[in-house]
Structure 1
Amino acid sequence: MIKVDNLSYSFPQKDLYKNISFTLEEGQHCAFIGTSGSGKSTLIDIIMDPDRYMFDGKLEINSNCRIGYVSQFSELDKIKEVTVFDYIGEKFIKLQNELTSICTEMETSSDLDPLLEKYQQALDAFDAIGGDNYESNINKKLNLANLIKHENRRVSELSGGEFKLIQVIKEMLISPDLMIMDEPDVFLDFENLNSLKNLINSHRGTMLVITHNRYLLNHCFDKIVHLENMELQEFDGRYMDYNFFLLQCKIELQELAITDNEEIERNEILINKLRTIATSNSEAARGKALNARVKIQERLEARRIKAPFVAIKQPDICLVTANEIEETIALKVKDYSLAFDDMLLENVTFEIKSSDKVALIGPNGTGKTTLLRDIFENNHESIEIHEDVEVTYLSQLQGEGLNESNTILEEFLIAGFNTSQEVQSYISNYGFEGEVINQKIEALSGGEKNILQLAKVSASRANLLLLDEPTSHLDTYSQIALEKAIENYKGAILMISHDFYTIANCMDFVLIIKDKTIRKMSMQKFKKMIYASHFDRDYLEMEQKKKSIETKIELALKDTDFVLAKVLSEELEELIKLL
């Protein structure tokens, strides 16, 4: 379906790919992963419109290949006032109307040949996208996504998550040879995420999907393409098998590295001795011995650092507070109500203590973001914030937290940093190094912008963080780094999230919106609820055990106990087979 061979491409500011190659076979469902800013979306753009880009290498894709595409950016506001059914069936309805129009024209025309040819072309196009059964196919997909009740609703009335699913259905129904999706899961609630999983798994065609969502990665794909440090590798198999493969590589490489380091040190001593001898003795043999030893050293050095897929740069997210306060009620919400056209929340009451980590969850469109904004603005009579509490806010709309026309340097100087050196030192912990601080924020990837927002949140040193979908666009490594930062944070957090893993790994309890109110739910009950709706039997327990073993392996590697690491990896392999 696709063949990429030794492709290289660079921006003026940075190199993206260096001789990368992969193939995508017919019928494969491929997850495209890699750290934020590694160039995944750009590679998708190159595949879709190669003539726009000056790249080296080869890209082979059939000229007749019909591509369905779902962008990571929703454009719900640009959609006309049409029903869900008409929006999904737009191409079918247009061709159907064209066929009807041609037939009407034939009734009065004396020259039928060009009309017959035109009719046949339209009919072929209609048949190519499965036109005969398009109405029933739309209903089947809407049923699968649990959206059949919205069939006659205006598209403009849908939530962002519902509209994303409608976009996926619309593209799938034209029977594309290749379906490409760029982070289709961003901002989807649990139910809509499950619907997306069902849609992906029901699709019989070839798929290439950029995603960082661990639920989808573990349940939807039979091939992994991983772009990292300008290089790419492909893996035929499940995401959890691929992760295990990387872990095995890490154990082997770290064990080799110790041996290599010892060999490099011995070699360096020999090179210095040979260099000393060569300067006082001009025999050719001495020079050859020195050159041979230098080449050995170069090979050892290359092997030591050649680990682009295990030496992944994880940002050092560190959430700190300048004013850690004693255990008290940091936030009190009492009899809070919210209405737009309809009542969304009614007489909501809850409290958050000064060290609580709390997830706010609920379906798309139930008022979560508005509640968070009202708390941040603190001008609502139902909201009370403790006088010693300082609040900062991370918006899911990145343009609110960042001025995208600024460079990274300008953004942090405005935020209170004094010098470019101070900014450089701080921002390097988050993966922004060297000249990249002079790059415009608008040129960054979605994940890089979110990392930048987290860096600003941390720099505020507030003791109550309001985080609206902080894991959106983040790669899995950054998600894990954020989870660790949340666990270690000494203040309070109220976080809107639909990421089950992040909630389960670092939250104390959940506030769940249901029937226009908010109720407190323990983590144990939350896990049971998700378990009942979204996971296979015993999946959660095995996932927790898997995480525990992986942590033990990491600790064994820190202690250079490779025997224990290998024993644990065998135990992990057996668990993965069960998963």
Structure 2
Amino acid sequence: MIRAENLSYSFPHKELYNKISFTLEDDVHCAFIGTNGTGKSTLVNMILHPEDYLYDGKLIIDVPGRIGYVSQFYAIDEEKEVTVFDYLSEEFVRLQNKINQICEDMGTTDRLEELMEEYQTTLDEFNAIDGDFYESNIRKQLKVAGLAGYEDQLLSSLSGGEFKLVQAIREMMISPKFIIMDEPDVFLDFQHLNALRNLINSHKGTLLVITHNRYLLNHCFNKILHLENTEIQEFDGNYVDYNFALLQMKIEQQELAASDLEEIERNRRIVERLRNSATAIDSATRGRSLHARVSLLERLEARKTKSPFVDIKQPDIQLHTEGPLEDQTVLHAEDYSVAFDRQIMEHVSFSIQAGEKVAIVGPNGTGKTTLLRDIIRGENPAIHLGENVKTAYLSQMHGEVFDEKATVLKNFEDAGFDTDAQVIGYLKTYGFEEELIYSPVGNLSGGEKNLLQLAKISRTDANLLLLDEPTSHLDTYSQLALEDAIEKYNGTVLMVSHDFYTVANCMDYVLLTEDKGLRKVSMRKFRKMIYADHFDKDYLEYEQKKKDLENRIAFALQAGKYEDAKKLCDNLEQLLLDNGGKNK
């Protein structure tokens, strides 16, 4: 369906792809992976709108029908008050109305042959998406997604995670042959993440899915595309096998490269001695020896093993506070309630003490984000902040925080820097190359926007951080950096998250949304609830060990310690073998 041949593309001052080639065949479910800012979303946009890009090489698109697309960013048109069912049925109703209109026109026109062709084309399009059964299919898909009974809900009343699932259902129904999803898992709760897995696995067509979510990677895909350092790796198989093979290849490649460099350096020293000797003594024999050794050195350099890409672009996230508050209630809610078209929270009361790190966890649509917004706005009489509390807010809606049409530099004018050079130097520690500083915020990837929010939050010296899905869009190394920063932060944190590992690794306890209220739950009890209701305990513990080993191998490679990396890789292989070579 899609084929790239020696595709190259660059932004000003930044090369994204260097002669990459890959193929997406019929009916594969392909995961598209890579760290933040490597150009995954740009490549997706090139597939969707190739005419908008000037690139070298070939990009061949042979897709019957439309290409479906689920964006990494969601925007519900609140003025468009339609139900979930109406939203999902729009394309079917449009084609149905068009067919009816053509039939009506046939009785009053002399363009009968032309209308017959148009009728057949439209009917084929309608049949291709199983139009005769769209009403029952909508209900079936909603049930698969865990959204049974949502048909009559207004689109504008859905949470971000719920709308993501509805978007995925819509594209799967009207674009059955080929669909691209850009991080469809962000903002999904544990139940809906399982629902997305079921939707992906039940789809019969071709899927290209950008994701950092290990659970989906482990359970949904039979092909991997990995974009790294302007090059692409293509692997037919599952993610577990791919990642292990990649680490093994990098260890072998680095060892060979080190051996080649050692041999090159030895010959370079011989050439230097011969050159000095030939200069001191005029000898034809020594001149020939020098020429032969220089030719050997040139051959060695030309065929040396290329060092693998082992650079880890891990941001240096530092969360500061002017001074931690001690022995006081930082945040108190008394009889807090919120409702939209239905009651979301009712008579909620809770307190958070200075220095506590608390996660609000619960299903999509239970008011978690609304609560954070009410705290930051400071207008709800049920919410009280303690004395000298200074807040900072990370929003899952980036447009709430940044002027997305303005440059990154412009958005940091109020961040307390004296010069542009200071901003550039500061943002480099968060992984932003200088050319990105002059780009509009709207051009950044979701992960880059989250990192940018964290960079700005750190400049506020707030002692209460309100973080709404801070790990969404972040790659593995950025997530590790954020977890480390939260652990070291000596202020108070209230975080909305569906990321089990971040909650388990960083939080003191959980506020669980249930029955329109919040219930305080210890981390030990929270873990047991997750094991019982959503994910197998053995799987989560195994996955944590596997991820830890993979990261340690990557860091060992970055440091050039390939002997350590080999030992860790042996440990990883044993772990995989102990678990049957695959995840449970």
Asked if Structure 1 and Structure 2 have the same fold, meaning a TM-score greater than 0.5 normalized by the shorter chain, the answer is yes
- Give the 5 Å matches for 1:102-121: 102-107=102-107, 112-121=112-121
Report the aligned-residue RMSD: 2.9
Q: Deviations over 1:223-274 (max 9, x none)?
A: 1111111111112222233232333334435545654565465445334434
| 1:296 aligned partner, one-letter code | L
Give 3-state SS (helix, strand or coil) of 1:75's partner.
coil
TM-score (norm 2): 0.89
The residue aligned with 2:205 is 205
Going from structure 1 to structure 2, the CA distance change for 1:554 and 1:203 (only over 3 Å counts) comes to closer
**296, 306, 310: which is aligned to 2:300?**
296
Runs of 4+ in 1 over 6 A off after TM superposition: 554-559
The residue aligned with 1:182 is 182
TM-score (norm 1): 0.90
Q: Deviations over 1:474-497 (max 9, x none)?
A: 223322222222233333211111
Going from structure 1 to structure 2, the CA distance change for 1:395 and 1:160 (only over 3 Å counts) comes to closer
Which range moves more in the overlay, 88-97 or 533-542? 533-542
Going from structure 1 to structure 2, the CA distance change for 1:546 and 1:569 (only over 3 Å counts) comes to closer
**For the Cα contact (< 8 Å) 2:145–2:198, is it kept in 1?**
yes
The residue aligned with 1:527 is 527
Give 3-state SS (helix, strand or coil) of 2:31's partner.
strand
Measure the CA separation in 1 of the matches of 2:301 and 2:218: 41
**For the Cα contact (< 8 Å) 1:128–1:175, is it kept in 2?**
no
Measure the CA separation in 2 of the matches of 1:115 and 1:373: 54
| 2:574 aligned partner, one-letter code | E
The residue aligned with 1:159 is 159
- Deviation at residue 548 of structure 1 after TM alignment: 5.2
**568, 573, 583: which is aligned to 1:570?**
573
**For the Cα contact (< 8 Å) 1:319–1:486, is it kept in 2?**
yes
The residue aligned with 1:286 is 290
Measure the CA separation in 2 of the matches of 1:297 and 1:490: 52
Measure the CA separation in 2 of the matches of 1:92 and 1:107: 24
Give 3-state SS (helix, strand or coil) of 2:432's partner.
coil
Measure the CA separation in 1 of the matches of 2:354 and 2:251: 41
Q: Deviations over 1:160-213 (max 9, x none)?
A: 322222221121112532111112222223333222221111101110011122
**For the Cα contact (< 8 Å) 2:312–2:555, is it kept in 1?**
no
Aligned residues: 575
Measure the CA separation in 2 of the matches of 1:313 and 1:49: 29
The residue aligned with 1:320 is 320
Measure the CA separation in 2 of the matches of 1:410 and 1:105: 56
The residue aligned with 1:332 is 332
- Deviation at residue 385 of structure 1 after TM alignment: 3.6
Measure the CA separation in 1 of the matches of 2:149 and 2:330: 41
| 2:223 aligned partner, one-letter code | K
Measure the CA separation in 2 of the matches of 1:17 and 1:173: 32
Measure the CA separation in 2 of the matches of 1:129 and 1:274: 75
- Deviation at residue 511 of structure 1 after TM alignment: 0.9
Going from structure 1 to structure 2, the CA distance change for 1:476 and 1:334 (only over 3 Å counts) comes to same
Going from structure 1 to structure 2, the CA distance change for 1:53 and 1:338 (only over 3 Å counts) comes to same
| 1:334 aligned partner, one-letter code | E
**For the Cα contact (< 8 Å) 2:271–2:293, is it kept in 1?**
no
The residue aligned with 1:16 is 16
| 1:290 aligned partner, one-letter code | V
Going from structure 1 to structure 2, the CA distance change for 1:390 and 1:160 (only over 3 Å counts) comes to closer
Measure the CA separation in 1 of the matches of 2:278 and 2:378: 76
The residue aligned with 1:463 is 463
**For the Cα contact (< 8 Å) 1:6–1:19, is it kept in 2?**
yes
Task: Establish whether residue 232 from structure 1 lines up as the match of residue 235 from structure 2.
Answer: no
Structure 1: give runs of 5+ residues left out of the alignment.
none
The residue aligned with 2:415 is 415
Give 3-state SS (helix, strand or coil) of 2:437's partner.
helix
Task: Establish whether residue 365 from structure 1 lines up as the match of residue 365 from structure 2.
Answer: yes
Going from structure 1 to structure 2, the CA distance change for 1:489 and 1:267 (only over 3 Å counts) comes to farther
Going from structure 1 to structure 2, the CA distance change for 1:541 and 1:212 (only over 3 Å counts) comes to closer
The residue aligned with 2:544 is 544
Going from structure 1 to structure 2, the CA distance change for 1:169 and 1:578 (only over 3 Å counts) comes to closer
- Deviation at residue 284 of structure 1 after TM alignment: 5.1
Going from structure 1 to structure 2, the CA distance change for 1:124 and 1:383 (only over 3 Å counts) comes to closer
Give 3-state SS (helix, strand or coil) of 1:76's partner.
coil
- Deviation at residue 84 of structure 1 after TM alignment: 2.3
Which range moves more in the overlay, 350-359 or 547-556? 547-556
Which range moves more in the overlay, 161-170 or 265-274? 265-274
- Give the 5 Å matches for 1:119-518: 119-253=119-253, 255-256=255-256, 259=259, 262-263=262-263, 265-277=265-277, 283=287, 285-294=289-298, 296-297=300-301, 300=304, 303=306, 306-308=307-309, 310-326=310-326, 328-378=328-378, 380-387=380-387, 389-518=389-518
Measure the CA separation in 2 of the matches of 1:380 and 1:65: 50
- Deviation at residue 9 of structure 1 after TM alignment: 0.7
**For the Cα contact (< 8 Å) 1:255–1:562, is it kept in 2?**
no
- Deviation at residue 565 of structure 1 after TM alignment: 2.4
The residue aligned with 2:87 is 87
Q: Deviations over 1:59-92 (max 9, x none)?
A: 2222635422222232321673333223212222
Going from structure 1 to structure 2, the CA distance change for 1:331 and 1:261 (only over 3 Å counts) comes to farther
**For the Cα contact (< 8 Å) 1:329–1:351, is it kept in 2?**
yes
Measure the CA separation in 1 of the matches of 2:268 and 2:27: 52
Which range moves more in the overlay, 419-428 or 516-525? 419-428
- Deviation at residue 410 of structure 1 after TM alignment: 4.0
